[in-house]
Amino acid sequence: MAWADLHSFPFNRSSGRALCGSGRVAATNISPHKSIKENYPMSDKVIIFDTTLRDGEQCPGASMNLREKMEVARQLARANVDVIEAGFPVISDGDFEAVHTIATEVHGPVICGLARCVPGDIDAAAAAIQPAGERGRIHVFLATSSIHREFKLKKAREEILRLLTEGVQRARGLARDVEFSPEDASRTEPEFLAEVVRAAIEAGATTVNIPDTVGYAMPEQFGELISYLRGQVSALDDAVLSVHCHDDLGLAVANSLAAVRAGARQVEGTFNGIGERAGNCALEEVIMAVKTRPDVYGHIHTTVAHREILKTSRVVSRMSGLHVARSKAIVGENAFAHSSGIHQDGILKKRETYEIMDPVEVGWGGTELPLTKHSGRHAMTARLVHLGFDLPDSQIASVFERFKEIGDKKKFVYDDDLAALVEDAMSSPEEAYTLDYIHVTSGTATIPTATVRLRRGEKTLQDSSTGNGAVDAAMQAIDRITRRNGQLCEYRVEAVTQGRDALGEVTLKANFGDGQLITGKGASTDVIEASARAYVNAVNRAELSLNRKTQVEAFSI
């Protein structure tokens, strides 16, 4: 999407030009001599700004390595989101590299990097998004509420206005597309917030975002705040008004939708609603609410590819290691499952009796031809591409190796099996540990014992341990090899598909001594092996997270 396409404005009180029938604006006669407002007079398009890779990744245990981030970013591009906030470049070398690589390799959406209102942050964000050219955005933020001003920043209102003006101006000197966020906006005095918004636009912000940072807002109030700002700040005719809601009271989606009704035209959030604490606004819910209720939202629309929603949710879940609840709206396993006889009967007679959305519209259904052990590398690769995985040859080779192993044990290899295998391969960067061999003895009258062999690059490392059970013994052997002492805090095993030969997928969370919960996932037809794979995955993620933490701790936000 071109930069100018994003800056089509929701309201134009002066031009009075009518909407096209679809609610979209035909951007004809675009001229560099006209203002953005003149080029794009009115739009009812809601810009979808995805921050899964920035705010979403701040969720405990959700750290992703570069390859995982790339998979998410590519899938977000396929889903046609408008903006990808790819990270916070100054925070660590890994974040910088991720934003830079996404800006280089992911085409379509605007690529955004976050920055505090500090020159070093803004310069780092500008350098990281540079490969995206005109599609690059710098997102600058500074807290504005009295509690943040007094206790965190120890700065008066005037100083906040000066700092944000300088920050936005600096960003505008480096990028054409600049977003400003007054952090904790929903708890900021409204008249001061209006001043802040005015100052940010005057300094050159092209989007002004209103975050409900701590999830404090109520839908009616938040909608009123958005209307108030639109009424007070006429300069908002020349900028996109955005919202960014957190889910501490379970109201992030409701608040975002209230804001859209009141005139916001960018919604920030994440797929599956992942994010700091209770999470961010679940984008799939906003997208489908707007689509499903034209009686409420009129011509308001998004340009997200709805049929990619489920796939995007699954990629985010697999790459972040964060499980989606069965009852989660739109993308949960039960979202379209009807178990009661009355409902099933109604659905058979007319789907709309109990379904307000067509599940196919969000990516459910479709016939799946399972692979078997006779399927070749080409068929498997084609299936991976269909599932949205874009893997380098080296990883295809390791997925194929596991596919053959599983194919020998299982009659059919389904899409979900394959996705679980990919995740195993993806979470094995060169320097990380991989499981080479495991042997366990266990039973009612023996002491459970495990021997584990891991590979790390060229090295092969082996050790044995006893434990309270076979899984515990395997994990203790891995601890001995990797010189760690992980505490298992959560452990879940699920069958990926049906039948006795189903792949078992283990998801666990472990604490490696620093209080952080690290997620690990592993899959196999043998649950002990799946557990060992999941634990090795957690150890690898712990290393990644430790490197990042050391750098992040070097500065405060």
- Residues 2-61 close enough to bind Zn ion by CB under 5 A: 55
H-helix or E-strand containing 122?
helix 119-129
Cβ 196 to ligand KIV shortest distance, Å: 13
In the list ligand KIV, Zn ion, none, the entry touching 433 (Cβ below 5 to 8 angstroms by class) is: none
Q: Which of 181, 188, 531, 537 binds ligand KIV (CB under 6 A)?
A: 181
In the list ligand KIV, Zn ion, none, the entry touching 402 (Cβ below 5 to 8 angstroms by class) is: none
Cβ 212 to Zn ion shortest distance, Å: 9
| Binding of ligand KIV by 318 (CB under 6 A) | no
| Binding of Zn ion by 85 (CB under 5 A) | no
Cβ 249 to ligand KIV shortest distance, Å: 14
In the list Zn ion, ligand KIV, none, the entry touching 170 (Cβ below 5 to 8 angstroms by class) is: none
Within 262-361, residue ranges assigned H as helices are: 283-292, 294-297, 309-320, 341-349
Cβ 280 to Zn ion shortest distance, Å: 6
Residue 93 to residue 548: CA distance in whole angstroms: 8
Closer to ligand KIV at the Cβ: 160 or 510? 160
Structure tokens at 273: 């609603």
Closer to ligand KIV at the Cβ: 37 or 116? 116
- Contact yes or no for 506/492 (Cβ under 8 A): yes
Q: Is the dihedral of CA 47, 57, 112, 229 positive or negative?
A: positive
Cβ 56 to ligand KIV shortest distance, Å: 10
Residue 9 to residue 11: CA distance in whole angstroms: 6
Structure tokens at 264: 């916001």
| Binding of ligand KIV by 183 (CB under 6 A) | yes
3-class state of residue 301 by DSSP: strand
In the list Zn ion, ligand KIV, none, the entry touching 383 (Cβ below 5 to 8 angstroms by class) is: none
Q: Which residues pair with 464 in a beta bridge?
A: 451
Cβ 15 to Zn ion shortest distance, Å: 34
- Contact yes or no for 460/494 (Cβ under 8 A): no
Taking Cα atoms as reference points, which of 546, 545, 549 lies closest to residue 65? 545
| Binding of ligand KIV by 148 (CB under 6 A) | no
Cβ 423 to ligand KIV shortest distance, Å: 27
Q: What are phi and psi of 104, to 5 degrees?
A: -80, -40
Residue 261 to residue 538: CA distance in whole angstroms: 43
Cβ 207 to Zn ion shortest distance, Å: 15
Residue 36 to residue 31: CA distance in whole angstroms: 9
| Binding of ligand KIV by 213 (CB under 6 A) | yes
- Residues 34-73 close enough to bind ligand KIV by CB under 6 A: 55
- Residues 228-287 close enough to bind ligand KIV by CB under 6 A: 244, 246
Q: One-letter amino acid identity for 3? A: W
Residue 17 to residue 295: CA distance in whole angstroms: 22
> Count of CB atoms within 10 A of residue 350's CB?
9
Part of the chain binding ligand KIV (CB under 6 A), chosen from 207-215, 296-304, 387-395, 451-459: 207-215
Closer to ligand KIV at the Cβ: 141 or 216? 141
Cβ 245 to ligand KIV shortest distance, Å: 8
In the list Zn ion, ligand KIV, none, the entry touching 181 (Cβ below 5 to 8 angstroms by class) is: ligand KIV
Closer to Zn ion at the Cβ: 210 or 452? 210
Could you write out the three-class secondary structure of 439-486?
EEECCCCCCCEEEEEEEECCEEEEEEEECCCHHHHHHHHHHHHHCCCC
Distance set, CA 433 to CA 327, 536, 542 (Å): 35, 7, 12
- Contact yes or no for 124/175 (Cβ under 8 A): no
Part of the chain binding ligand KIV (CB under 6 A), chosen from 151-159, 209-217, 219-227, 450-458: 209-217
Closer to ligand KIV at the Cβ: 181 or 256? 181
In the list Zn ion, ligand KIV, none, the entry touching 183 (Cβ below 5 to 8 angstroms by class) is: ligand KIV
Q: Which of 40, 96, 141, 180 binds ligand KIV (CB under 6 A)?
A: 141
Distance set, CA 274 to CA 83, 96, 396, 495, 506 (Å): 17, 21, 29, 23, 20
Binding site for ligand KIV (CB under 6 A): 55, 141, 181, 183, 209, 211, 213, 244, 246
Binding site for Zn ion (CB under 5 A): 55
